[in-house]
Amino acid sequence: MVRKLTEMIRKPDEVRTYVVERFMADTDREKLFFLPFNTGDGGHWLLVAINPFKEIVYYLDSLHNDWTTYPAMKTIVDTIIQTVRAQRKIQVPKRKANNITWNRVECPRQRNNIDCGYYTLRFMKETLLMDRTDIPSDYFDEYRCAYYSKDQLDEIKEELCQFIIELQVL
């Protein structure tokens, strides 16, 4: 699994193929898919959560950059959704072919340049705990805050360590 993730980060075409296959395999009910994205410009991590059937993308960046800061990310995600649309044989008027909704979520902001990965993991965890297929533009009431505390970040670090230990990859 770790090897597959590393390959995906380095090969955007494989990302598209893999994600489209996952979206097409899970057509029984509406779902929210997570695509942690590394910008590649120094290693910043952010979260893209995609509802492929409503064609909505939720963008969560702990640096609060706009999604237009990362055009390669938008191209990859838009192409994935357009491919799913084509495979599902959904007809869209040409003027609406690129009409994919991108929602920038006002999520907690990191205070340094090193905690982005932990923020991304925490965004995924909180969204999973809410058991929803959407993310409010001002984030979830239950988890809304300006910044995560040291305890909140330590909690996700401990959970990640426990997960790795249980996988026995070390």
Which domains are seen in the chain, by residue range?
2-167 (3.40.395)
**Under 8 Å between Cβ of 34 and 88:** no
Q: What is the pLDDT of residue 39?
A: 87
Q: Of all helices (H) and strands (E), which one includes residue 57?
A: strand 56-60
- List, run by run, the mean pLDDT of 10-residue segments along the chain (170 residues): 47 77 77 89 89 92 93 90 83 68 96 94 93 93 92 93 79
pLDDT digits (tens, 9 = 90+) for 92-134: 666 665 789 999 999 999 999 999 999 999 999 999 999 999 9
Residue 31 contacts by C-beta under 8 Å, 6 or more apart in sequence? 51, 133
List the structure tokens of 138: 């001002």
Q: Taking each helix axis as running N to C, give the angle between helix 2-10 and helix 12-25, from 0 to 180 degrees, rounded to the nearest 10.
A: 120
Q: What is the pLDDT of residue 169?
A: 61
C-alpha distance from residue 151 to each of 31, 113, 124, 148 (Å): 30, 18, 17, 8
Query: Which residue blocks in 63-109 are alpha helix, DSSP H?
Result: 71-87
